[in-house]
A and B are shown apart, each in its own frame.
Chain A
Amino acid sequence: MFSQKNLFILPTGAGVVFGILLLIMLITGINYQNSLIYLMTFVLGTVFIGAMHQTHRNLSGLTLSVARTGEGTAGDDIPFYLRLTAGKDQAVAIQVSVEDSVLEQLHIPAGATKDVVLPVPSAHRGYVRPDRIRIETRFPFGLLKAWSWLRPSSAALAYPRPLVAPEAGSQVDDGAEATAAKPVIGQDNADLRPFREGDLSQRVMWKRFARSGQMVVADWQGEQGSPHWLDFNAFPGADAELRLSYLAWLVADRVQQGARFGLNLPGEIIEPDSGLVHGERCLRALAAWGEQPPRDQDSLSYGTRKSLDAGFTGASQ
């Protein structure tokens, strides 16, 4: 909710010129002793003051929150799904912007909610969280602008930009072999461990479950380096970001083929699986690898977070 505490209002350039014009008109009125010019100056002057109130009210009472953050590839615009809820008054001609990315002319009737997507440019892989989102209005006359900042607490993810991996050709062949190697699954060199949330149902030893009622999952060891594992360490000499880009390309490639693959990152292992959801999970892991999710340095930082509901939204991601 935007209120006096976090709303700023100043005349625009046109507003300053308007002020000067009023002064000139006043001098004209004085010099020609013209009551009607006085009257017009006063009318326009109070319209200016009234516009201050209206511009302010146009923004105050409005609630802006980040409903959801999207994902995208580094270098592209990452969508931020924003939700604007007008208060008692309608909000007219609202502009929401981050750096050069601007949404203009948003109209929200009184009490209504409007969802918009704000593309946020991402420079590199990892968490994308704009320092602040600017919300501004110049309605009704464009002589004054009221603005405020939203410091979003939730971050979006930018996947590494995919780069064709050097051993792409051989990997594809290996992928074909991987399907041939599939029968290997189910052999005895599997470790058995209890079921954890997130385990695939195919791996559950259903026979055992029928026997004992325990959900046990077969876990295969020693498969590192095998074709259906995409490995961070498979690109000697390349730097980390490059490796991630290769891996991103490989993930996309595998998903496209409908192949089954796992991802091995230092500190994080994603079990082999297939499908879009799995692919996205891998990409997210690549994007977030080695990055700390942005945290609030201090809860009292200026801006509008304190009075916003965005904090809850962010944490629910």
Chain B
Amino acid sequence: MSVLGRFSFRQGDEGDGAMQAIPAGALLWLIGAFALLLAPQWDRLPLWLVAACAVLAVWRWLAQQGRFRLPGRWLKTGVMLVLVAVYVTTVQGRFTVDTAASFFVLAVGLKWLETRTARDFYVLFFILVYLAAVNFLFQQSIIWALITFSAIGCLLVGLQILNAPALPGHVRAGWKRLGLLLLKTLPIVILLFVFFPRMAPLWSVPLVSGQARSGISDTMRPGDISNLAQSSERAFRVTFGGENPDYRDRYWRGLILDYLDGETWRQRDNEPFRRLGRVATDGGAGSLAENEYDVLMEPTDQRWAFTLENSVAASNNVFSAGEDLFRFERPADSPIRYRMALAEASSASMLELNPVQRNRYLQLPRSGNPRARALAEAMSADLNPAQLVDALMRRFREQAYYYTLRPPAMPEDGIDALLFDEKRGFCAHYAGASTFLFRAAGIPARVVVGYQGGDPGAGGEYLIVRQYDAHAWVEVWLEGRGWVRVDPTAAIAPSRIESGLRDAVEEEGSFLENDFTSLQRYQDFAALQWVGLQLDRINYQWQRWVVGYQGQSQLDLMSRLPGGMGLKELGYLTAGIVGLALLIAGVVSGLSLKSRERRDGFGRALDSWRRICQQAGVPVRGGETPMVQAERLAQARPAVAESARTFARAVNSHYYRQQPLSQRDDDLQRLKRLLKAIQRQLRQDGQRRSTGPDK
């Protein structure tokens, strides 16, 4: 007794006491969560910012330990001004989601120096929760999602410690409590996730980052694609409704480069301006038809979609841009799923090139590469276009042309140098040179850029196309046949087209030579490959079914469920789920409480005692002890005086005597017996009274 239960916060040896109001454990979890939340953004945050955040958080921690002081007002303002100045100079007025996100991170970092009270702790908690949401804008793979969610867990454990710092074993208990809570609420989360209506965006918000993404671009210089070949990042994944096409037919067309500007191939017309549409990251729903395929593309910040030849759009988030190319409504700033269908070869042969088009596909710079031009003239003199194409391919095949990731530099008249001197190049070199030659020979031609290939993922359910599958090839216009694909790489290095880059450059040993972290580099380690592919499969399913669960998928799912629910019905359903959750929580706590009351036999015995008193004509007054009540009952009904007093004494001794638990049951039995006796006596007494006067 009389041990004051008051908990006083540990006062630091120095510094203000208010600062110590945050328990060290809680702060540590908060800092841990911050570190976890920064991790998914490692590649988009400037290094100085990450370093600054680390320093600020460590500063705060040392202050907690009493080894360092938190800065005063002036120093704090100074630190803030310096960091903001660095930020402004690095950002240089560009406003993108990236810079906004890094400003947000900077603000969080600075907040550490200000976190002194529990109130500040909550402010940081809220900011970090929102930071977690921001993370999901950039990283949606399952690993990063798990990391972000575990950061949320750390935050919630930190809150528990903040609210009960003195509780022994709070960390373990905290995680356990949180885990149970999440487990119990999981069904409701799932229901909400499935049924919450996926509305259209309220306003259009571009998420274009200022950072260059790896991937093909809309210009091609001879060395460009070989850079890309050093990256094993995923470009997109494809699931076919039917059989996978042969490797050599996996030409994923992205865009057409039809204008040679010096050495650089580019698009003559820039992409036509289109007002940014709304985000539509999911395309198509339901199972794939035999001729359909489903592409889940990583963000490219570009509008082009990659499709096989002779495809038509099967989902409404891609549209045809002519020339058998497809575009999105807006740049792909997050993973996009779209669906295409393979169609019969279009009747392009019926079409004629009009003079404008003809001129466009015959365009060449006025001068340069004289030997190539001379060769083209010589060939065109005695060959028709189709024969000329064959002749050039034969030349590539029969002469000592090499396909290499390490081409020599060819600064002057690069096409001449490639064709006649060095004879070493990558796909971009040969595609550019071939197109040049065809045009010089009067055959309309163009460079097509995209990907070629794709390796099966785990279980062979889908194909993974990586950046090193990037490819460039040629299309020529042949009268009567339309555009015909011609791939010089296929003539020089058939293995590139048959089985991919790895085999094509095997002898050279240059495959992913600079990318030591890539799993694809270590083809020989089967176990490593297997793990990588399994991870990719999990991620793919995650992206398709969880990340990609958007309006269309939802409506598709709903259309399969009975009831034919639309958005409005879903809204009602969601409200119903939330209401139901609240109701269940209430009922559960009510039931558990009821059962607890029921178990407390003493309380029940007292209730029946009061009832008996009432029935006997002795009204129960609040705050009255059983002793007093018994006395009044004894006065009113002398017949039960003795039992009533005994009962009251027994109750008193139960409540005011420390007794072992085992005795409680005996006590209770005794009370019950006494109550029965009182009732019996009252009954007998009542009978006596009612019969008494008659006698």
Contacts and interface: CB of A to CB of B under 8 A. Distances in A.
Contacts of B4: 103, 116-117
Contact of A46 (B163, B581, B623, B651): B581
B655 A1 contact: no
B625 A42 contact: no
A28 B548 CA distance: 16
Interface stretch (B197-205, B341-349, B354-362): B197-205
Contacts of B621: 296, 299
A115 B3 contact: yes
Interface in B158-187: 159-160, 162-167, 174, 177, 181-182, 184-185
Given A40-B133, A299-B622, A139 B164 contact: yes
Contacts of B207: 32
A311 interface: yes
B177 A36 contact: no
Contacts, number: 218
Contact of A105 (B7, B281, B549, B628): B7
A87 interface: yes
A50 B546 CA distance: 24
B129 interface: yes
A21 B127 CA distance: 9
A53 B192 contact: no
B177 A54 contact: yes
B547 A36 contact: yes
A37 to B, nearest CB: 5
Contact of A34 (B6, B136, B551): B136
Contact of B585 (A14, A49, A309): A49
A209 interface: no
B145 interface: yes
A41 to B, nearest CB: 8
Nearest to B278: A33
A5 B622 CA distance: 17
Interface in B111-158: 118, 122, 126, 129-130, 132-133, 136-137, 140, 145, 148-149, 152, 156
Contacts of A3: 593, 597
B205 A40 contact: no
A53 B167 contact: no
A134 to B, nearest CB: 15
Contacts of A4: 589-590, 593
A254 interface: no
B196 interface: yes
Contact of B1 (A42, A81, A92, A107): A81
Contact of A116 (B3, B547, B651): B3
B42 interface: no
Given A54-B177, A105-B5, 8 more contacts: A35-B549, A51-B181, A88-B592, A116-B3, A117-B3, A299-B621, A299-B624, A316-B652
Interface of B: 1-7, 118, 122, 126, 129-130, 132-133, 136-137, 140, 145, 148-149, 152, 156, 159-160, 162-167, 174, 177, 181-182, 184-185, 188-189, 192-193, 196, 198-199, 201-203, 205, 207, 279-282, 334, 546-551, 578, 581-582, 585, 588-590, 592-593, 596-597, 600, 603, 620-628, 651-652, 655-656
26 contacts: A3-B593, A4-B589, A25-B133, A28-B133, A31-B201, A31-B205, A33-B198, A35-B193, A35-B546, A36-B140, A40-B132, A40-B136, A42-B192, A43-B189, A50-B181, A54-B177, A57-B592, A93-B167, A117-B4, A141-B156, A142-B118, A142-B122, A311-B622, A312-B626, A315-B625, A316-B656
